[in-house]
Amino acid sequence: MHRTKTRFAARVNHVATALERRGVRATYRLHDRVLSNRRSRRLFRGDRPELDDLQGRILQELETEGYSVLAFTELFPDVGLREDIEEQSGRFVAETKAGLAGDRGGLRVRAGKEFVVRLHSYGVELSLEDPWFRACTSRRMLDIANTYLDLWSKLEYTDMWYSVPQAEEAERVASQRWHRDFNDRRLVKAFLYLADVDESMGPFEYVPGSAGKGPYASVWPWKPLGDNYPSQEEFAERVPEASIKTFTAPKGTLIFCDTAGFHRGGLSTTHPRVLATVTYSSPASLVSLTERSYHFTGALASLDSPTRFAVT
Ligand SMILES: O=C(O)CCC(=O)C(=O)O
């Protein structure tokens, strides 16, 4: 009897989940094609930013390859901002090391991704006092994301990550495995390395041409709530190793990437990999697939319209 009831409950649960997934997909498509994103595209096209040569190059590389790499100081020659971010990262690293050496109680980790300690995680209050957030909300970054997405985007997620070194024989889990991000069919992430990252430290890796209309876009193509983590064995059969870009790079490297394309990283077996990250996605994503990681507590009136749109 108990067995029958349990099986019945499992079936009900399965049907409910399937219906819910269908509902989420329909909501995403409706907001992408008609509701949220249409307005957001109109807002962007009515006030298109002028990109300088460097921003133009980043955009072009995002379009053709799905990524662009540069030194943070190329985009932000302001020494003060770089120093503030370094100081912020230094504090985060020191606190994380102390936490890892102690009872680990105060460390921010998410279930299933315990190998990454986060500065903020979700539900944090942020303002322009936060140096990395200041960079992410700057028009230097936002105009690139908005132009690539062809709409006023939402700054959905921002954080610093400390990837804790794992045992040599550790299996890849979660985002250490090849996947497409579930967030949106087209999105912009940026990663700022806050430590030199070598081959042993789980460098970010990407398959150029796996986003947009690239040659690998049709390999397990992006779909809302789609098959984002294919079998890694099948992945290796369909995506030759020669086509993978591995980002071993010095501290201060900034990587822009459309992570709707295939990527992985973060399995360090030697030193902690420390980076800052940000995600810009469409309003449709925020309505249906994702959750903003922070609450903006600064003065909204002091922000220009695209920035205010991005943080609210
Ligand atoms: O940690 C990495 O290098 C991969 C990150 C990732 O998969 C993501 O941000 O979606």
In order, the DSSP letters of the chain are -HHHHHHHHHHHHHHHHHHHHHHHHHHHHHHHHTSHHHHHHHHHHTTPPPP-HHHHHHHHHHHHTSEEEEEHHHH---HHHHHHHHHHHHHHHHHHHHHHHTT-TT-EEETTEEEEEESS-SSEEE-TTSHHHHHHHSHHHHHHHHHHHTS--EEEEEEEEEE----TTPPP-GGGS-B--SS-SS-EEEEEESS-B-TTB--EEE-TTSSTTSTTTTSS---TT---S--HHHHHHHS-GGG-EEE-B-TTEEEEE-TTS-EE---BSSS-EEEEEEEEE-HHHHHHT---SEEE-S-GGGS-HHHHHHH-
Model confidence at 56: pLDDT above 90 = yes
pLDDT at 2 (0 to 100) = 45
Q: Please give the number of the atom of ligand 1 that sits closest to the Cα of 205.
A: 3
Quick: pLDDT tens for 97-132. 999 999 888 899 999 899 999 999 999 999 999 999
What is the best residue among 121, 160, 175 to mutate for testing ligand 1's pocket, by most ligand atoms within 8 Å of CB? 175
Q: Whose alpha carbon is nearest atom 6 of ligand 1?
A: 175
The CATH number of whichever domain residue 174 belongs to comes to: 2.60.120.620
Q: Whose alpha carbon is nearest atom 10 of ligand 1?
A: 181
As for how many domains the chain has, the answer is 1
What is the overall mean pLDDT for the chain?
94
Ligand 1: centre distance to CA 259 (Å): 8
Ligand 1: centre distance to CA 175 (Å): 6
pLDDT at 5 (0 to 100) = 57
Report pTM. 0.94
pLDDT at 6 (0 to 100) = 73
Residues with CB under 6 A from ligand 1: 175, 181, 189, 204, 259, 263-266
Q: Whose alpha carbon is nearest atom 3 of ligand 1?
A: 265
Which residues span the domain enclosing 188?
2-311
Q: Please give the number of the atom of ligand 1 that sits closest to the Cα of 266.
A: 1
